[in-house]
Amino acid sequence: MIELSRRKLLRTASVLAASSTTEASHSGTTAQQRYKVVVVGAHPDDPESSCGGTVARYSDFGHEVVLLYLTRGEAGIPGKTASEAATIRTLEAQRACEILKARPIFVGQIDGTTEISRAHYDHFRSLIEKEQPDVAFVPWPIDSHRDHRVASMLAYDAWERSGHRFELYFSEVNLGAETKSFQPTHYVDISMVVERKRLACFAHQSQNPNDFYGHYHEPMQRFRGLEAGCQAAEAFVRAAQSPPRYCLPA
């Protein structure tokens, strides 16, 4: 693994199939390589708000991206039954995936009552094995939201059981308010796709996107951009035991 400063990170820490030749040479990949990318979230809008810009970067370069939702957001709309909320939020997630050019998968757990068990570990692992990702993004495990922690642990277990076959990056769902003690190792410049990310987040109209995006995620990506030396960025922690490929967009 290469030790890099934050200033150099965006230019040299990752492989972008269409543009990076330095890291492609380092990792043994080719400029035409296409990656399978899996982004894990506990609820509809989690992958979009934490990684939406990164997803847009991947999909724009022809990589296949899957958004894996642990739940359908059954507890996420006051005044709606679990079934009603799930229907609404599933449609919103599908619209967001269309904007980002990604494919949705719904794991089947229930918002607010997610569980970790042997059966759930096995089921989640089977989904990951079916997709065969080259790189996966999962929620940071130190988080105030139980569902976020469950999603993180299920995904982490699947990575461990795979023998660290794919690169693993932890993402921040909501800096400070929910995601705790997050110290990034890698950044992705999303300056050129900020509007796509905003549109994907605003597809989740039931979640009051003016509030959650405007008050949390827009400032968060500006802050990470300041750290990384660009207009807007998303930040990640790379699992050190990941294969030495660096599949991140640069």
What lies within 8 Å, CB to CB, of 179 at 6+ separation is 139, 140, 142, 143, 148, 172, 173
One of 1.10.3720.10, 3.40.50.2300, 3.40.50.10320, 3.40.50.10490 is the CATH number of 34-237, namely 3.40.50.10320
Check residue 32 and give its pLDDT: 63
- Nearest CA among 107, 5, 20 for reference residue 57: 20
| Three-state secondary-structure class, residue 8 | helix
Distance CA(100)–CA(204), nearest Å, equals: 13
**Which residues, in sequence order, are bridge partners of residue 71?**
109
Check residue 177 and give its pLDDT: 85
Q: Are 48 and 197 in contact (CB under 8 A)?
A: yes
Query: How many CB atoms sit inside 10 A of residue 200's CB?
Result: 30
Q: In what order do the strands lie in the sheet with 233-238?
A: 103-109, 64-71, 36-41, 135-139, 167-171, 233-238, 186-189
Q: Within the chain, which residues score under 70 in pLDDT?
A: 1-32
**How crowded is the C-beta side of 119, counted as CA atoms within 13 Å?**
4
Tokens of 61: 């370069």
Q: Are 140 and 182 in contact (CB under 8 A)?
A: yes
Q: The whole model's pTM is what?
A: 0.87
Q: Are 159 and 151 in contact (CB under 8 A)?
A: no
Residues of the chain with CATH 3.40.50.10320: 34-237
Check residue 30 and give its pLDDT: 46
